[in-house]
Structure 1
């Protein structure tokens, strides 16, 4: 599979395209702050697990745990930035939502990535090939 990719991971591009599609159709203004933390961290957790799925030899448990940790980092950074602002404080409930969202995203991503394999390749030709395989 890597021979077709020419050093570029198209699965990551597809994952980010799905993230941007999700964000474009989701009414984020209708969500409260904790729901936003959960949703954005779920996307980060899914993206992190997808990266680990295709770029490492880690097992499922390691990918989910590392994907959760990596997906929680943006939420932690936001909470630390919020706590530095005048009149704002660190929210443990938002951080909990970040961790739970990242975990949910990593679990859903590993189930998806284990069942479906998507790859785009251009084996030295001008055309682009697309493969979609569902494992039963």
Structure 2
């Protein structure tokens, strides 16, 4: 099986996306992927391949599997692609706000550490010069 035939094995998908077989089976168990079964073999079609790419992108962006499931499942159901895009934009705004707050928190922590280090160095310099 291959891209030419429009289907992939679990091993081919795992290799292509640099994930473990266990990861793909986990997404299957969660209902995010639904490969065709041919005996004991799993056969993945373009829909599964696209969904796997979306799942992995969603994970990289920090979305939970529940959020990812909502987004990818909306494509197949009402309100369809428009609803999916509206929901995704809302989730992106929420995620962006969270990350921006984390950035401000990190910047403040780094500033605090710099100030403490400056004070420690000044105190150490005083001790050494005395």
Whether TM-score is above 0.5 comes out as: no
| Larger of the two Rg values belongs to structure | 2
Higher normalized helix content (fraction of residues)? 2
Q: Which has the higher contact order (CA 8 A, sep 6+)?
A: 1
Per the normalisation by structure 1, the TM-score is 0.29
More strand by share: 1
